[in-house]
Amino acid sequence: MMIPSNTQTPSPTQLSNGPIRVDFSGETFEDVVSAFHLARAEVAALFALLGVDPTKTRETARVLGINRGLAWRISRMIREADPAAAASDVPGSMSMSKLFAACRDRGVPESSIKTTAAALSKFETALSACTGDRKTLAMLMANLADPRDRTEAEKARRTLFEGACGVWGVQAQTRFVTVFLFPSREDPTMLDAGHVTGYVGFRRLSSKPWPLSYEAVHKATGDAARFVKEPLDPTGSSEGQLQLIKQFCSPATPEINVVESAGYKRFELAAGPVGNQGLTTCVFGTLLRRLYPRYSATPDTAGFMVILTTPVERVLFDFFVHKDLTPSPPRTHLLDRLSHLYGNIESEFDRQSLPLAEQARQLPRGAAGAMCHYIPWYPKLIEVVSERIGHDVADFTGSRFELNYPPISTTLSRRIDLLTPPN
């Protein structure tokens, strides 16, 4: 669902006036971070080819015949998106050669192994030029980390999640939203958006239909706004099927019913089997034409929302803004929809927001920079969406906000300020 949002969230690798650039022998800190994410994505891709879950250390060690220490370090590299926490644990070339040998034994294409080896070599080169060794790099990154402790707040949200699963009879591993915002080719004074949202590992605990996505557009005043949408995957006959990007869904064509109510269009997963028998991954994707004005003479925003009504273990919200827009970083709000049930009036967002210790972080450029271990196919999704909207992902600046066990009866909102009209 689309609409405006607020909470400043600079990346740990970013200052108020731009990204940190620590130069050592021609390499920058930013280069090391980019190289880390590329290597991380390539190693994760190897595990996808192997059909092994890298987050399960003991199983990885047993299946591949490598020692548990190496399996743990590889797992940490893939699981941990923050280089500050994982850079010192990236295995060296001799250790990785053991993984590559196991991959060859299990029929992984040599081209994939060489690509991963090249990415790791690039990381080692950038590391050596920037700080000299892993220990120094880890110390540098640790000094940039957010010192606030989020442990207690997350514990409370987890308790709420566990209770909500029992009460509502549904749960999911991940809820994600991915937005690409860019100038319209048809009308350069307007903005188009590629909007993708979905669930990974959704399961019913009772057999009943459940809303997976809501659709509406509102102005900053809360009034409904018109918009034009096109499917990112034009296969299918019904509106529900046209919402889906089927190559990333499991099953490939889940039954989606469309219900209109109270100004929203609701896309519901039809009633079905419970537990793992009905485990579903569902990805929706649309291209929204002339959604927002590109410029505004008075303060205004362009933003997007995700309504959180399903108990999930985590929510991920990636916002990619085209380089021609050059806005300030997106602002984030977690809006209380328990005591503030209705209305999307932007001027009230600060008053309606729940406190957030979590901060967004800037993503390295390219699809590899968007890798997340709990959605192994996510970089491929980014590539597919960027191709279908007709823009290279490298032309966007991405930022990511993640929250574990987000409370239901809330709305997660992210928005950017519109630029003033050019003279």
pLDDT band for position 127 (cuts 50, 70, 90): confident
pLDDT band for position 142 (cuts 50, 70, 90): low
- Six token digits for residue 365: 């450029």
- Six token digits for residue 307: 């309504």
pLDDT band for position 143 (cuts 50, 70, 90): low
Tens of pLDDT, residue by residue over 153-184, are 888 899 999 999 999 999 999 999 999 999 99
Kindly give, in sequence order, each residue whose CB lies less than 8 Å from that of residue 351, ignoring residues fewer than 6 positions away: none
Query: Lowest-confidence range among 120-124, 290-294, 313-317?
Result: 120-124
Tens of pLDDT, residue by residue over 262-311, are 778 889 999 999 988 889 999 999 999 999 999 999 988 999 999 999 99
As to burial, measured by CB atoms within 10 angstroms (0-12 exposed, 13-18 middle, 19+ buried), residue 125 is: middle
- Selected residue with higher pLDDT from 404 and 128: 404
User: So what's the pLDDT on residue 84?
Assistant: 62
Please state, in angstroms and rounded to a whole number, the distance separating the CA atoms of residues 178 and 248. Answer: 14
Average pLDDT for residues 357-378, to the nearest whole number?
Answer: 91
Name beta bridge partners: 321.
181, 397
pLDDT at 381 over 70: yes
Virtual CA dihedral for 387, 389, 392, 393, nearest 10 degrees?
A: -100
Indicate the pairing of strand 228-231 with strand 331-336.
Answer: unpaired
User: So what's the pLDDT on residue 11?
Assistant: 33
- Answer whether 90's CB lies under 8 Å from 77's CB: yes
User: So what's the pLDDT on residue 217?
Assistant: 76
User: So what's the pLDDT on residue 263?
Assistant: 75
Spell out where 68-207 has E strands.
170-183, 190-204
- Six token digits for residue 335: 């809006």
pLDDT band for position 346 (cuts 50, 70, 90): confident
Average pLDDT for residues 47-76, to the nearest whole number?
Answer: 88
pLDDT at 121 over 50: yes
Kindly give, in sequence order, each residue whose CB lies less than 8 Å from that of residue 94, ignoring residues fewer than 6 positions away: none
pLDDT at 323 over 90: yes
Indicate the pairing of strand 396-404 with strand 256-261.
Answer: unpaired
Residue 109's φ and ψ, nearest 5 degrees, are -55, 140
Average pLDDT for residues 117-143, to the nearest whole number?
Answer: 73
CA atoms within 13 A on the CB side of 102: 21
Cis? peptide before 251, omega within 30° of 0: yes
Query: Lowest-confidence range among 3-17, 87-101, 160-174?
Result: 3-17
User: So what's the pLDDT on residue 215?
Assistant: 84
- Selected residue with higher pLDDT from 278 and 385: 385
User: So what's the pLDDT on residue 126?
Assistant: 80
Q: Is the pTM of this model over 0.85?
A: no
Please state, in angstroms and rounded to a whole number, the distance separating the CA atoms of residues 144 and 139. Answer: 9
- Selected residue with higher pLDDT from 82 and 68: 68
Please state, in angstroms and rounded to a whole number, the distance separating the CA atoms of residues 334 and 411. Answer: 6
Kindly give, in sequence order, each residue whose CB lies less than 8 Å from that of residue 111, ignoring residues fewer than 6 positions away: none
- Selected residue with higher pLDDT from 89 and 242: 242
pLDDT at 202 over 60: yes
CA proximity to 378, closest of 67, 44, 128, 142: 44
Query: Lowest-confidence range among 16-20, 40-44, 95-99, 156-160?
Result: 16-20
Judged by DSSP in three states, 334 sits in strand
**Average pLDDT over the chain, rounded to an integer:** 84
pLDDT band for position 133 (cuts 50, 70, 90): low
* Packing angle of the helix pair 93-105, 68-79 (nearest 10 deg): 100
